[in-house]
Structure 1
């Protein structure tokens, strides 16, 4: 790491002396302060301050283990604060609140200990099991086993035992409980990773292996790995709804349940999928093939009983946009801005789950976030551990209670009006940065590939030299545009970014050597994003264009 003596941080069996420890922490503080002053390349808000009011809680163990709406034997939990944060976002996202376990339309959710990756994993896990016709049943032998133990004098715990049950697929519809995942080429890499980790099949994998010549987007040509985005890699970054509809119809006609991941603020381009339009286009297709609503029989002991479930699951990865766009919508309705983003939240009845990061637009000092769904989509947990005194309904076991405190403190400090002002400020800074980069492009007389999606806080441009990448902490993406291999950087207009910082950045970019020559004449992959049939599991989830270097 530049400017850091890593040897100063090496730990020994004897620990470090007070002087060594102080020197290491000094280096750490100076490094973080230096990088913070010029931080532009990621969607992290570095402005909020928490240490003065919340620093004292670092000496306490705040653990929200288990369900947020149930008690816990870990008495240092702060679940009442977590519930206050969840209620806030339920109201903001048009969900029915407060949570009521007897009201399936009310919301359920939890504060994430990781970032939105945790919420994406949880949503895809939930969607997989929901669409696969799985349910959790009480194991009938549990009470009998406990009675036998009591009769023999052996002491045994009488805890509830649940088992997964799988609904059998009807003979006339063998794919009824074989869900397939759909996501666009601009989707965050955590979705790609989650699909692989959860062993969820994608439309590409099944299409390329079972129907190699039947690609509905280009018959006879290889299948696309992911749903195309409008305009391809060089476009604004939103999902191509027409292409999605054709792909969904192909597999819905064969009986597959449909799992779609939408983006609301894509990682590199900051684009917002039109979830409402997509849902309105897809629902008639799903209805045509009986996937809008269906009966799921999953208890073999009671064949007359069934669940009524949708044959689709729509998840919204709103890591950035779900925190930001509701306030821009408020600004739009009050006449303060001429444009707003598309609807994405629980006002849309076909949305199953939403995830948002707390360390991005909001500005938490470490990764965290919020996951939310409707109560009726929550499968019961596989265990109700007596040890912690709470159902284990969340993804993790122990969860960071301090994250809930940080989010609560941030929201408690500011009104809706304040947050509308923040949204308008970041939008104006993004517009300013975009304009300055276009001016620089004209000044230098060369194409810097400057682009900004509508209302995006991200502005992308031709990659700069490694020194400037490090100084401004810039992300990298390599894509193929019109037969050229292009490497981009981008900046994000967050609350801590000022016009002065943008001006200093532009002046650095104006210096000779700021934009090194790129080798663009490299044979690209197929222009339609397609690929040959996979030769094994794991080959169908590429991470090209996810912010990684080649």
Structure 2
């Protein structure tokens, strides 16, 4: 019998022949539902519905209560070990054929295995230590300072934190904009990441979708028309530094110019830059990447707090390469007081979205930023863009 051990001369099955944790029961594909409830194929009744393409319950691993019998417990341990071994094999196979998601899998954090025995929690404000002593704030603030230099804002002028994902960075950036302008209107291109529209729903904000060009960039002509139609209210704008599908980068300078031409002074708009995809690539795109006129790469639009922007967020598990979802959010310190609140039992303040925060992620990012891979990544960016031009 496959997957069995001997127990007093009697074979005990620990892995059934038919067990396959990666199996997926074939099901007909459901109709595609857009976020506004309209069916792409078929008619709509206006109701929003949730559809599942794959029923994970058919392949889930049931959690059961442990047995008091010591012999059975040993068998259970062997069974669990076999499950994990097969799952690792599945991960290796799926990682080998991993397509469609822009993750950098070229990382090795074996040196950090020694820290996995600790419950590291950075709950509260990164800059104000709480009464929970097992934290990694010293690493977190070091990483934040690196990003502050990248985006050209002084240490005493910024506030930020390491988020659990790119979406949390967008939720926080839009929330800061809403707190600065409670009656502001959120503007975002139609190809903006869904998390921005999620933020609009969560915060009950009026949201105006702006048309895009063929490239996926925001259409500033349409943007201007919609700004003028709502000139009586402040503007909160999401600028994409790499859209999800097309990788389009909105022209930040043109967005600012459009706002100014529409009569919006700098104290009547707030710009959040969603750099989840390309936020860490654009700063390293330089003209003449190889010092040769044969390979000329035009400099990317620059994201900088020297421009009238309010916040920037990036993902840490995409281009950087991190085994766990995480991200970085940076905003202006002058804006954060609208969010920050004292938390008595923490003996700290908090202006984050989440409460408890992964204290391991800052260490992974800190180690990445100190490694020689940072220089390699800069060349990787330039090589990728040169190859894109050659392929055109």
Determine if the alignment matches structure 1 residue 185 to structure 2 residue 235: no
- Match for residue 344 of structure 1 among 303, 317, 337: 303
Structure 1 contact 63–400 (Cα < 8 Å) conserved: yes
Q: RMSD of the TM alignment (CA)?
A: 2.3
Counterparts of 1:9 and 1:415, CA distance in 2:
38
Question: Is contact 1:332-1:340 (8 Å) kept?
Answer: no
* Deviation at residue 337 of structure 1 after TM alignment: 4.0
Contact 2:179 2:339 in 1 (8 A): no
Cα deviations by residue, 1:200-234 (Å, 9 ceiling, x for unpaired): 0123xxxxxxxxxxxxxxxxxxxxxx20001xxxx
The question of 1:111 aligning with 2:162 is answered yes
Question: Is the contact between residue 245 and residue 281 of structure 1 (CA under 8 Å) also seen in structure 2?
Answer: yes
- Consecutive unaligned residues in structure 2, runs of 5 or more: 1-18, 24-57, 68-72
Aligned partner of 2:66 among 11, 14, 36:
14
Distance 1:425 1:40 in 2: 20
Equivalenced residue count is 331
Distance 1:427 1:316 in 2: 21
Give how far 1:111 is off.
Answer: 0.5
| Offset at residue 382 of structure 1 (A) | 5.5
1:260 aligns with 2:220: no
- Which runs of no fewer than 5 residues in structure 1 stay unpaired? 101-105, 133-177, 204-225, 294-309, 436-550
Which whole-Å deviations, capped at 9, do the CAs of 1:438-485 have from their partners, x for residues lacking one? xxxxxxxxxxxxxxxxxxxxxxxxxxxxxxxxxxxxxxxxxxxxxxxx
Q: 1:237 aligns with which of 195, 208, 216?
A: 216
Question: Deviations for 1:265-303, whole angstroms, at most 9, x for unmatched residues?
Answer: 10011110001121022123234xxxx25xxxxxxxxxx
Correspondence for 1:272 = 249
- Say if 1:429 and 1:40 are closer, same or farther in 2 by CA, change over 3 A: farther
Task: After superposition, give the CA deviation of every residue in 1:184-214 in whole Å (9 maximum; x if it has no partner).
Answer: 11100111111111110123xxxxxxxxxxx
Question: 1:42/1:109 Cα in 2 relative to 1: closer, same or farther (>3 Å)?
Answer: same
Alignment of 1:357-376 (within 5 A): 357-376=315-334
Work out whether 1:399 is the aligned partner of 2:357: yes
Contact 2:286 2:382 in 1 (8 A): no
Paired residue secondary structure (1:59): coil
For the 8 Å contact 2:239–2:273, the answer to whether it is kept is: yes
C-alpha displacement of 1:379: 2.4
Aligned residue in 1 for 2:376: 418
Is 2:48 aligned against 1:89?
no
Q: Distance in 2 between matches of 1:55 and 1:182?
A: 43
Query: How far apart in 2 are the matches of 1:324 and 1:405?
Result: 21
Q: Is the 8 A contact 1:236 1:271 kept in 2?
A: yes
- 2-side partners of 1:331 and 1:402: how far apart? 38
1:46 correspondence with 2:64: no
Structure 1 residue 4: Cα displacement: 2.0
Q: Which has the higher contact order (CA 8 A, sep 6+)?
A: 1
Q: Which residue is 1:537 aligned to?
A: none
TM normalised by structure 2 equals: 0.79
**Residues 1:377 and 1:333: Cα distance change in structure 2 (over 3 Å):** farther
* 2: CA distance, partners of 1:227 / 1:74: 45
1:23 maps to 2:73: no
The answer to whether the Cα contact below 8 Å between 2:21 and 2:87 also exists between their aligned partners in 1 is no
1:378 counterpart residue number:
336
Note the C-alpha offset of 1:338.
2.4
Deviations 1:355-380 (CA, angstroms, capped at 9, x unpaired): 10001111111110100011111124
> Which runs of structure 2 are paired with 1:427-466 in the superposition (5 Å)?
427-428=385-386
Match of 1:59 in 2: 117
Is contact 1:8-1:23 (8 Å) kept? Answer: no
Is residue 315 from structure 1 mapped to residue 294 from structure 2 by the alignment? no
Q: Describe the SS at the equivalent of 1:121.
A: helix
Residues 205-244 of structure 1 mapped to structure 2, 5 A cutoff: 226-230=209-213, 235-244=214-223
TM-score (norm 1): 0.57
Q: In 1, are the aligned partners of 2:176 and 2:339 still within 8 Å (CA)? A: no
1:195: which partner in 2?
Answer: 200
With over 3 angstroms needed to count, the CA separation of the structure-2 counterparts of 1:429 and 1:392, relative to structure 1, is: same
